[in-house]
Structure 1
Amino acid sequence: MNKIFTFLFLLVSTLAQAQIQIKVIDTETQIPLENVRIRPETGKSQLSNTSGIIAFPGSEKQTFSFSKTGYESFSAILGEGEHLIQLIPKSLNLSEITVSAFESERPLLEQSAAIAVVSEQDFNRFNETSLVNSFNTKAGIRIEERAPASYRISIRGSSLRAPFGVRNVKVYWNEVPFTSPDGTTALNLLDLSNIRTAEIIKGPSGSIYGAGNGGVVNLYSPASPNGGRVSADFMIGDFGMTRYRLGVSQQVGNGGFEASYVSQKSDGYREQSAMDRQVFQLGGFFSVSDKQEIRTQLLISDLDYQIPGGLTADQVAEDPTQARPGSVNQNSSISQQSVFASIGHLYRFSSQIKNSTTLYLNANDFENPFILDYKKELGYGIGGRTKFTFDWKLAGKELRIIAGGEYQMSLNDAQNFGNKAGKADTVRFADQLLATQGFLFQQAEWELTEDLLLTIGLSENFSKLEVDRQIDASGGPTGLQVKKFDPILVPRFALNYQLNDYSGVYGSISSGFSPPTIDEVRTNEGSLNLDLEAEKGLNYELGYRLGKERLNLEATVFYFKLDQTITTYTNPQGVVLFRNAGSTDQKGIETAIDYALIRNGGGFISDLKIGTAFTGNYFTFNDYQKGDNDYSGNDLTGVPPNTLVSRLDLRTAAGIYLNFTHQYVDEIPLNDANTVYQDAYNLVNMRFGWAKSFAGKWELEAFAGVDNLTDELYSLGNDLNPFGGRYYQPAPERNWYGGVKVAFLY
């Protein structure tokens, strides 16, 4: 018996002393890494110490995951004893950046199109209240914000078709169509916390994404959770800005869920420019089996923002903070409540064949009192997208075929009233609006050689708008009016050639078309412009990419020939109307350079990066005559010829960081006659702060920043061809913000 007790005592003592000891180092510098988060398969995560060492009790083998900002995530099965783990720094090499553009997950270096990637690091360089600043650091992309939450997106083009809202750009959120079938996108319903990364395809992409000449924006939510995390953010700033966020994520088996609630409010820089938005998001990811995955999303958004309106040059000089006369009395504003729900399913039939399908349902309640009228809309939409991917060999070469389709439908009850002191008055006209659009797409990617990739894509598109006028108080005709666009084929042909492991060239020819939106056909004064034709264009593009060690370089030249260009004008009553303006020639160049002066250094400065992006848009009207006025040869309205963005990012070993951004925007023509311009301006933004992890469980960040450091007077979104010279929407003067973030990991 004594021998048994002695044996048990020795066994317990041995087990108590058994350890899995881990040391983590940088694979390039061989320097020990502090604050690496190490999570065992069972038990709580811990952080490595200043020597890069951490020990876990026990001897049983299990999987450990390793993560640290600036390094690639890593997993390994470890047992009792000492282990040396080497983490690989995240490389600037473009071959390491994988994107899902054109429904094909390939490294950016192998993509045959101009694609910009906006990461979490890009978002966190600014105040995190909107997408504007981060998107505007990318060549060829410009987001305008005429008032808080009033966005316009311009990708290689102007905002001619978007006096307000996002048009002529297709937006997807987690592979679900977020752009309505009527051609508009309520991008302001999303908070920045609902977006982890964005991929922007520049130029026509109709071969696989349907209608739209302006490009495609693919937005992705935070990734599936790893473990458990509870977080909270709080920020305040000038002009009464407050923002707070609460979030939780929890891993459940091989899946999990994440939820967040965000509230953001601001009094606004100008009179009648306050904003109030609440957003709740709930997402789930479920790995049913090795063959099946299910992803769900629920987004509930409640948005209210005021519209100050455009000012003349004299009004700006007098007081740039004033609203357009009448905006306050008429409560010019937008109120929108929306629910968006989706479900996605991935099924792998085999290692060669898989299908991905997403379905969505949304509902909207929209009110828009304006100086001239009061609009109400209530409606819903449904839609979905499915694709099959086949990986085969043809003549011994890898062949990938992608085929699928997309369909969307929306039905809205829309009413226009008179506006009496901000209240809806007598009904002027009421319509039931039905919009449908859909397309089938096919794409083949054939690796002709180890270095040469051929891509051929084609889509067949159809769309229809129905306006059933039920009330017309002016005595005009009622009844059903239909605008149907003939089915159109949209092809794309592209080649990508890898010069070596770190550089390549590509060329493409792509077609695009963009039918008018329902707001362009049905205007606020009640007329129906059924003669408005779809824009059609052809784009030629040539690009070069280099990603080697610490250097990234991208350069693209393109020529886009657009026919039946849709432009705006304003009637004497101030109503924005639309017309086709012949053709335009759009020649451009886009370059971007990023260089890491110091990357994961062992001294006080751990990272120091610089970068610059240049956009040259030399766009002109080719054939545009309005009455006795011939605008042929004029610069395209709303497009700055030259834009230059420079960035500096610094991070220290102590966790202190600094992000500095300078943006130069050339003068912008504000009317088709090119007689009025916005002056060129320089915009400087800066953010600095401190971020650190503690005890393997806590993450803390404190930050502050300033927008428009040099106090520039400019407009971040002008009104084009307005009546009465109301061109200008003054942007905020110098303004400060600050906040804290805290997270608990369990």
Structure 2
Amino acid sequence: MKINLILLILLLPVLAGAQTEVRILDARSEEPIPYMFGKASNQRSYVSDEQGIMMVSVDEETEMVFSHVAFETAQFRIPASGQITLRMDRADNTLTEVVVTSFESERPLLVHAGAISRVAESELYRFNETSMVHAFNTKPGIRVEERAPASYRISIRGSSLRSPFGVRNVKVYWNDMPFTAADGTTPLNILDLSNIENTEIIKGPAGSIYGAGNGGVISFTSKQKITDNRISTDLNVGDFGLVRYRIGVDQQLENGGISASYAKQKSDGYRDHTAVDREVFQIAGRFQPSEKQNITTQLLYSDLYYELPGALTAAQLEENPRQARPGSADQNASIGLKSMYGTFAHEYRFNPNFHNKTSLYINTVDFENPFNLDYKKETQFSYGGRTSFTLDDTWGNIPVRVIGGGEYQLAKTAAQNYGNRGGRADTIRFSDDLITTTAFLFQQIEAELTDRLLLTLGLSENFSSYDITRNIDALTGTPSAALRRFDPVVVPRIALSAKLNETSAVHGSISSGFSPPTIDEVRTNEGTINLDLEAERGINYELGYRGSYKQGKVNLDVTAFYFKLDETITTFTNEQGVVLFRNAGATDQKGVEAFVDYALVRSQLSFVQELKLTHTYTGHFFTFANYRQGENDFSGNDLTGVAPHTLVNQIDVRTQPGFYLNFTHQFVDEIPLNDANTVYQDAYHLMNARMGWRRNLGTAWDLEIFAGAENLLNATYSLGNDLNAFGGRFYQPAPTRNYYGGIKVGLKY
């Protein structure tokens, strides 16, 4: 009897199947992770204990997927017996864990001395995946407008005042490359969401590191790591003839990887004459020739066409909000934009404390814009680059980080303006050759005065010029030339961050900024060359607090600022409907921006794994300080195009079976549409919702099915108005209630 019992004990592990002890640790802290969820290829599930130990029974080496609400989902190969230690990357749920690279310095967001918002990939996918508009509009201080599909305008703290169309007064980077052209304009609409994985937004002047732009800086990054060989595809359909599909391939190589994607999006649009058709192809290679080097190359090609319906008067809006402005369809008012953007980036680490990043790009653009009043054609070739050196050292007993570098851009443009006869180019009016250059040098020192106190001093020297050669001038019959070199501008910044404890900090900064007029503001569509237009100059004072509580379940970020802007550039429209520009004295811009999120539920073991609420508030109290135009005195009026109050509420639910719900409510206060403050857009409430189901099916397949609705309350509103419009044409009505749905499939091979 005793012999049988001993044999049974010895054979029990064999009868029960081999076991592997899986030890799961936090990759940063090396602390064990309890309640990690693991799923084997045989669909059997496991959960780690309080010591981070998971006992797994498998007959042979197998792939397992590990997931946890606070960590990135990952896949590992588990042996049939023995022990293995896994290290998991955090999912950046708290301010102490979110790492940002703004101001050329990679540090936790908690200790950065600046108003910085981060838009993660998951936040882009809370909405319909046709644009970034709604995701960006959940962030305090930021408003992205879309007057027609693919016609974007970005306002950071009121910076769209001078933007009748396009993105101006905001510097944009894509994978550390200047994406804003040398002339100050940014073709943001050529990007598909699949070209973006993470976004960092600096609000307010950041010229000490990034050059011109009083509004701020937007830095996009596409997928940086290729961890699997994978094929994926998406299909999106919706109201107003929306169809979007994408296919992507990731291929690992011995020392890096290659990824490629193609996306196509078409829609008829809510209004008449608002069709859009966009194709985007991207291929990227990432290589590590040695432990000291990283190389990234990318090629982006975009072919974009969208129609411009034009703005309506109040009477036309009431009569039929879906109509286009009379004449827009007959004149084929639209934009055709083909762009090729090639990049090369090299990072070299000379030693653990000293490294360099250098990025180069070339860009070609073919632009065609028939409009109600004229017909514009442009071809452009541009190139540029950016380099920065970073040294971590110790001066005395004080750790310091010294950053220095520069940026240079040049654009050559051949631009012609014609008459528009029934949507076709007619007699040429004027033809120009344009050369635009911009350059700056930057230096920055960060000193850790104590283990809780971080001081930053930054400075840049900026240079820019426009060279305009008018080869044909039908009005005067005489060729001419114009050159404008702006005086060198020095832009300083001082910032201080103080940690109150390990999970909270205060920060303050004083930063200067400037923004020269873009080429479209100097050279306007009716033929004027306005060399008297001055660059905007501003200074920003800022104070903020960040904190995390209850192990990251509650996060708070509050910023107060005062921005004083001189030589403010504003728009006005002449009797022919051409938008023109002028300097308008000064503005006073006081504001409060707040963000708080809290997890009511965060448990890997419960049916509802996460229930999170997020609230953001923007209070922008902006006025003209000194603004006279002829006999009109607009001093003291509210700043045009800015809502004084904006509130966003979000609910996010994620369940263990894979079902999820994202709900968003946004309140936007009334917006003044002209400098005289006699016309306003009414306040409105906007509600959007998306629900779906996503799961890993075994170790190779992943699947997501989703559906959503926009403008659930069927509100009447404009997502972007024409400011100071002639003839009362202010309104660009946004879609009423509409629905969408889609499916995503991925396969690892």
TM-score by length of 2: 0.93
Task: Specify the SS of the correspondent of 1:188.
Answer: helix
Q: How does 1:621-700 map to 2 (within 5 A)?
A: 621-700=624-703
1:33 and 2:37 equivalent?
A: yes
1:457 and 2:452 equivalent?
A: no
In the alignment, which residue of structure 1 is the partner of 2:739? 736
Q: Provide the rounded CA distance (Å) in 2 between the counterparts of 1:180 and 1:31.
A: 49
* Number of matched pairs: 720
- Cα distance change, pair 402–640 in 1 and its aligned pair in 2 (3 A): same
Q: Provide the rounded CA distance (Å) in 1 between the counterparts of 2:521 and 2:377.
A: 17
Q: CA deviation at 1:30?
A: 3.6
In the alignment, which residue of structure 1 is the partner of 2:400? 399
Q: CA deviation at 1:55?
A: 5.7
Q: Is the 8 A contact 1:34 1:48 kept in 2?
A: no
| Residue identity in the other structure for 1:594 | D
Q: Provide the rounded CA distance (Å) in 2 between the counterparts of 1:133 and 1:227.
A: 30
Q: Provide the rounded CA distance (Å) in 2 between the counterparts of 1:271 and 1:400.
A: 55
Report Cα offsets for 1:590-644 as digits up to 9, x if no partner: 0000001111342211110001000000000000000000000000000000000
- Cα distance change, pair 393–681 in 1 and its aligned pair in 2 (3 A): same
Q: CA deviation at 1:227?
A: 1.8
- Cα distance change, pair 70–691 in 1 and its aligned pair in 2 (3 A): farther
- Cα distance change, pair 303–58 in 1 and its aligned pair in 2 (3 A): same
Following superposition, which runs of at least 4 residues in structure 1 exceed 4 angstroms of deviation?
17-21, 23-29, 52-59, 62-70, 73-80, 82-89
- Cα distance change, pair 191–424 in 1 and its aligned pair in 2 (3 A): same
- Unpaired segments ≥5 residues, structure 2: 1-13, 48-54
In the alignment, which residue of structure 2 is the partner of 1:330? 331
Q: Is the 8 A contact 1:93 1:502 kept in 2?
A: no
In the alignment, which residue of structure 1 is the partner of 2:177? 176
1:711 and 2:709 equivalent?
A: no
- Cα distance change, pair 353–77 in 1 and its aligned pair in 2 (3 A): farther
In the alignment, which residue of structure 2 is the partner of 1:518? 519
Q: Provide the rounded CA distance (Å) in 2 between the counterparts of 1:478 and 1:352.
A: 56
Task: Specify the SS of the correspondent of 2:208.
Answer: helix
| Residue identity in the other structure for 1:710 | L
Q: How does 1:52-201 map to 2 (within 5 A)?
A: 52=47, 70-72=70-72, 80-83=81-84, 90=91, 92-201=93-202
In the alignment, which residue of structure 2 is the partner of 1:612? 615
Q: Is the 8 A contact 1:233 1:742 kept in 2?
A: yes
Residue 727 of structure 2 is aligned with which of 724, 731, 734?
A: 724
Q: CA deviation at 1:56?
A: 6.5
Task: Specify the SS of the correspondent of 1:357.
Answer: strand
Q: How does 1:228-307 map to 2 (within 5 A)?
A: 228-307=229-308
1:472 and 2:476 equivalent?
A: no
Q: Is the 8 A contact 1:21 1:55 kept in 2?
A: no
Q: Provide the rounded CA distance (Å) in 1 between the counterparts of 2:564 and 2:43.
A: 57
1:562 and 2:565 equivalent?
A: yes
Report Cα offsets for 1:154-191 as digits up to 9, x if no partner: 00114221100000000000000000000000000000
Q: CA deviation at 1:224?
A: 1.6
Q: CA deviation at 1:255?
A: 1.0
Q: How does 1:10-49 map to 2 (within 5 A)?
A: 20=20, 22=22, 30-31=34-35, 33-35=37-39, 46=41, 49=44
| Residue identity in the other structure for 1:593 | V
Q: How does 1:221-620 map to 2 (within 5 A)?
A: 221-475=222-476, 477-548=478-549, 549=551, 550-620=553-623
- Cα distance change, pair 634–683 in 1 and its aligned pair in 2 (3 A): same
Task: Specify the SS of the correspondent of 1:159.
Answer: helix
| Residue identity in the other structure for 2:238 | G
- Unpaired segments ≥5 residues, structure 1: 1-13, 37-45
Q: Provide the rounded CA distance (Å) in 2 between the counterparts of 1:314 and 1:552.
A: 46
Task: Specify the SS of the correspondent of 2:96.
Answer: helix
Q: CA deviation at 1:351?
A: 1.0
Q: CA deviation at 1:395?
A: 1.5
Q: Is the 8 A contact 2:36 2:66 kept in 1?
A: no
Q: CA deviation at 1:69?
A: 6.6
| Residue identity in the other structure for 1:539 | N
Q: Provide the rounded CA distance (Å) in 1 between the counterparts of 2:436 and 2:56.
A: 60
Q: Provide the rounded CA distance (Å) in 2 between the counterparts of 1:653 and 1:462.
A: 55
Q: CA deviation at 1:95?
A: 1.1
- Cα distance change, pair 658–78 in 1 and its aligned pair in 2 (3 A): closer
Q: CA deviation at 1:199?
A: 0.1
Q: CA deviation at 1:222?
A: 1.2
Q: CA deviation at 1:479?
A: 2.1
Report Cα offsets for 1:315-360 as digits up to 9, x if no partner: 0000000000000000000000000000000011111111100000
Q: Is the 8 A contact 1:25 1:33 kept in 2?
A: no
In the alignment, which residue of structure 2 is the partner of 1:40? none
Q: Is the 8 A contact 2:362 2:384 kept in 1?
A: yes
- Cα distance change, pair 322–35 in 1 and its aligned pair in 2 (3 A): farther
Q: Provide the rounded CA distance (Å) in 2 between the counterparts of 1:317 and 1:592.
A: 36
- Cα distance change, pair 339–313 in 1 and its aligned pair in 2 (3 A): same
Q: Is the 8 A contact 1:271 1:321 kept in 2?
A: yes
Q: Provide the rounded CA distance (Å) in 2 between the counterparts of 1:679 and 1:580.
A: 28
Report Cα offsets for 1:401-443 as digits up to 9, x if no partner: 0000000000010000000000000000000011000000000
- Cα distance change, pair 244–72 in 1 and its aligned pair in 2 (3 A): closer
Q: CA deviation at 1:303?
A: 0.0
Report Cα offsets for 1:441-494 as digits up to 9, x if no partner: 000000000000000000000000111000001115422201110001000000
1:51 and 2:46 equivalent?
A: yes
Q: Provide the rounded CA distance (Å) in 1 between the counterparts of 2:701 and 2:286.
A: 25
Q: Provide the rounded CA distance (Å) in 1 between the counterparts of 2:227 and 2:211.
A: 35
| Residue identity in the other structure for 2:37 | L
| Residue identity in the other structure for 2:605 | G
Task: Specify the SS of the correspondent of 2:739.
Answer: strand
Q: Provide the rounded CA distance (Å) in 2 between the counterparts of 1:489 and 1:31.
A: 54
Q: CA deviation at 1:29?
A: 8.3
| Residue identity in the other structure for 1:322 | Q
Q: Provide the rounded CA distance (Å) in 2 between the counterparts of 1:89 and 1:447.
A: 26
- Cα distance change, pair 63–270 in 1 and its aligned pair in 2 (3 A): closer
Task: Specify the SS of the correspondent of 1:520.
Answer: helix
| Root mean square deviation of aligned Cα | 2.1
Q: How does 1:208-219 map to 2 (within 5 A)?
A: 208-219=209-220
Task: Specify the SS of the correspondent of 1:138.
Answer: coil
Q: Is the 8 A contact 2:68 2:604 kept in 1?
A: no
Q: Provide the rounded CA distance (Å) in 2 between the counterparts of 1:256 and 1:203.
A: 37
- Cα distance change, pair 413–539 in 1 and its aligned pair in 2 (3 A): same
Report Cα offsets for 1:567-593 as digits up to 9, x if no partner: 000000000000000000000000000
- Cα distance change, pair 336–75 in 1 and its aligned pair in 2 (3 A): closer
| Residue identity in the other structure for 1:33 | F
Report Cα offsets for 1:661-695 as digits up to 9, x if no partner: 00000000000000000000000000001111111
Q: Is the 8 A contact 1:20 1:57 kept in 2?
A: no
- Cα distance change, pair 84–467 in 1 and its aligned pair in 2 (3 A): closer
| Residue identity in the other structure for 2:415 | A
TM-score by length of 1: 0.93
Choose 608-617 or 222-231, whichever is displaced more.
222-231
Choose 119-128 or 48-57, whichever is displaced more.
48-57
Q: CA deviation at 1:72?
A: 3.8
Identity %: 57
Q: Is the 8 A contact 2:36 2:604 kept in 1?
A: no
Q: CA deviation at 1:35?
A: 3.7
